[in-house]
Structure 1
């Protein structure tokens, strides 16, 4: 069977060196496996996603010499697939509507409230009240009930070069699977798309390591295949923080304007 990898950036800004490092890891992994690479644009955020950023992603990858197989897939064109997955989970009684904002949750949380791996206060949380009780609800997973459906079977994922890793989705609490403004979330969309596209290998940054536990749970609940995972180290800024669009990390385009070549970029990310 041909190995299938994917590179799946969000068009919420221009690509930076961290993206180049991740792309290089994906394409080098596919090359070593004799596999294919798919390009997926994860544009489910209707506010921050911009078509000009999506176009820039394709241009920057082509400039770096990375080629992909088949047409580019855009998540904004696949909302029906996510809605079907939500309906399947809802039919199992695994979802509930929630109108709590992050501010509502933070206001009701004690200083020692349990937090998820991203640092957000976990739900369920006693005493939290929505500031907009009539607003559109998000859909959250009933984590305890979801875990009970596994019947005690161990939940793991296969980390390449390491082996089986124990998945602990309970650390995330009742995660959002459909947001107020769109019928999906990152967690749901990626597992649905990976399965639909036949992805066999997920290569991504270490910052998504803990989220793999949620993804493995959703794969079990939705009867989806399990890919192999590899989480590569992040490229860090001089201050030790990860490169990020929101922190104003230099874009590949700005570096190119300064005279950087393709080889300079690949050398900077350790892929030359």
Structure 2
């Protein structure tokens, strides 16, 4: 039986914080204890937010924590052709359609529907897609595409779920409410998710399952905030005939107010802690790793 393979996959759109340190160290620890491999993947499909200096900082911070990883490092921005091929597979199955509403138009549609009743939300609390682009005629779609209008490519969730039937995954960690063991996936709870855009032939959901398969990842170890997103990933794995890894969702590192640490809220970065004289050993103690 081949050894397990783990990965840490940050986006270079900000500096790493204690939450990243916990995930990276946990993956590396599990890889070492099991005699497995530890990979670093750079998830940089968003050119507007991802910057080279943040990738350099990721390397420096992880090395300071005492980590090493197999080379070469996979950068998503270098593999758009592979994501495009996966997207074409889904399109050939009749499971992808373009939606042309702007974010403002989507918000207006939701507001109109909520005048009648609460509009359904996905597990992250975001409203499900309310539009009717799936019902556009082929002629109208072609007209809009030829006009150069911006669009998002969405997965026809009802058709996709009907194609694969019941799904589950093996959870070796736990979900937000302590879920563990064999978990029944519920991809329909996410509605018609975006899997690509006009300017980018992929999304997080699509690229992460393609990457994990191509890199031979057997153990996906990540935060509990991605627990229910696993439902979408299991669906895409089945549709694309990709291998199913084992999942382990870990606790989140939170601030004094109980909020998850985030780049968007300017959580204190590892490089700042290092500049203050905090040691890598102290980082381990702070996040509860021996």
CA contact (8 A) 1:124 1:173 kept: no
- Please give the alpha-carbon distance, in whole angstroms, between the structure 1 residues aligned to 2:33 and 2:40: 18
- Please give the alpha-carbon distance, in whole angstroms, between the structure 2 residues aligned to 1:70 and 1:235: 28
TM-score of the two chains, using structure 2 as the length reference: 0.89
CA contact (8 A) 2:39 2:73 kept: yes
Q: Which runs of at least 4 in structure 1 moved beyond 4 Å after TM superposition?
A: none
Match of 1:230 among 239, 248, 268: 248
Task: Indicate the residue corresponding to 2:149 in structure 1.
Answer: 135
TM-score of the two chains, using structure 1 as the length reference: 0.94
1:123 paired with 2:135, answer no
Give the 5 Å matches for 1:186-197: 186-197=204-215
Q: Higher mean Cα deviation, 116-125 or 81-90?
A: 116-125
- Please give the alpha-carbon distance, in whole angstroms, between the structure 1 residues aligned to 2:223 and 2:132: 34
Unaligned runs of 5+ in 1: none
1:240 paired with 2:246, answer no
The Cα offsets for residues 174-195 of structure 1, whole Å up to 9 and x where unpaired, read as 0000023311000000000000
Aligned-residue RMSD, C-alpha: 1.8
- Please give the alpha-carbon distance, in whole angstroms, between the structure 1 residues aligned to 2:278 and 2:199: 39
CA contact (8 A) 1:11 1:50 kept: yes
Task: Indicate the residue corresponding to 1:157 in structure 2.
Answer: 169
The Cα offsets for residues 107-146 of structure 1, whole Å up to 9 and x where unpaired, read as 1113311111122211244599xxxx85221110000000
What SS does the aligned partner of 1:225 have?
A: coil
What SS does the aligned partner of 1:70 have?
A: strand
- Please give the alpha-carbon distance, in whole angstroms, between the structure 1 residues aligned to 2:160 and 2:132: 20
- Please give the alpha-carbon distance, in whole angstroms, between the structure 2 residues aligned to 1:226 and 1:242: 28
* Equivalences, count: 268
The Cα offsets for residues 210-248 of structure 1, whole Å up to 9 and x where unpaired, read as 100000000000000000000001000101110001101
Unaligned runs of 5+ in 2: 135-146, 174-179
Task: Indicate the residue corresponding to 2:75 in structure 1.
Answer: 74
- Please give the alpha-carbon distance, in whole angstroms, between the structure 1 residues aligned to 2:88 and 2:232: 18
